[in-house]
Every structure is written in C-alpha cells, then in structure tokens.
Amino acid sequence: MNWFRRIFSGPDRGAERRRYPRYPVSAPLEVEVAGETLGCRLDNVSAGGVRLTPPMATALGTAVTVRHAASGLALRGRVVGQDDGGTRVQFDSEEAGIVVSSWLRMAQDADDGSDPEKSG
C-alpha cells in the first residue's frame, strides 16, 4: 500500500529538500556564537545557508553570525544541523543571496589570483 501512496503523492521531496543550489567553496570565516568568535572554514554555500568545518559544539537552533573578516560581510542565521563533517547554518535573511554571491566572487578571485579591487 505504501507504493500506491508514493505514486499518487507526487515527487519525493525528502530526496532533495534544498531550496537553493549549493556551491563548494573553501574560505576562512568567523562565527560569532553567544559573544564568542570562533574561526572556521566555509565548506559549501547557498543563498539559504552554509556548511562550516570543523563542527561546532553548538546546540541546534542556536543563533550565530557568520562573518567574512576580510570583507566585513556578515549574515545572521541559526544552526540547523550537525555531523562529523561540519555544522549547517540557515540564514535568517531572504536577501542572503547578495552576500553569498560576494563570497563566491571573492573565493573565485582568490583562486585565480586576481585582485577584486582592480577588476570592474
């Protein structure tokens, strides 16, 4: 009977629940948690959130601010997942895509050796 429900209930949303595409990026970031600043690395990013490494010893639902120190760009969010590989943070802002696109551009510029101040 379960197969019958699956056929008529439409696509399985559990298989891909992500609302935004994710991009693998490795860049140093800071995370502010309860007034304490922790160093971490960006593992992947989307307009909806980030995955940070190493995993943080922080409870699910904890409010955090993710900051790129070199640019001063920062986004507030909440811890939504933990595993041995990292911590997942969902951004509070729907406009996070603007900041994320800046992070991606800076990461790309760092990878190819170009200076973002001289381009454009």
Report d(CA 108, CA 98) in Å as an integer: 16
Res. 35: pLDDT tops 80? yes
Report d(CA 37, CA 83) in Å as an integer: 21
Check: pTM over 0.85? Answer yes or no. no
pLDDT in tens, 2-30: 433 444 444 444 445 667 888 888 889 99
Res. 118: pLDDT tops 70? no
Report d(CA 1, CA 95) in Å as an integer: 43
Neighbours of 51 (CB within 10 A): 21
- Strand ranges for the chain from DSSP E: 23-33, 36-45, 49-53, 63-68, 73-83, 86-91
Report d(CA 29, CA 55) in Å as an integer: 13
Confidence of residue 99 (pLDDT cuts 50, 70, 90): confident
- The partner residues of 16 in beta bridges, in order of sequence, read none
Sketch out the chain's domains with CATH numbers.
Answer: 18-111 (2.40.10.220)
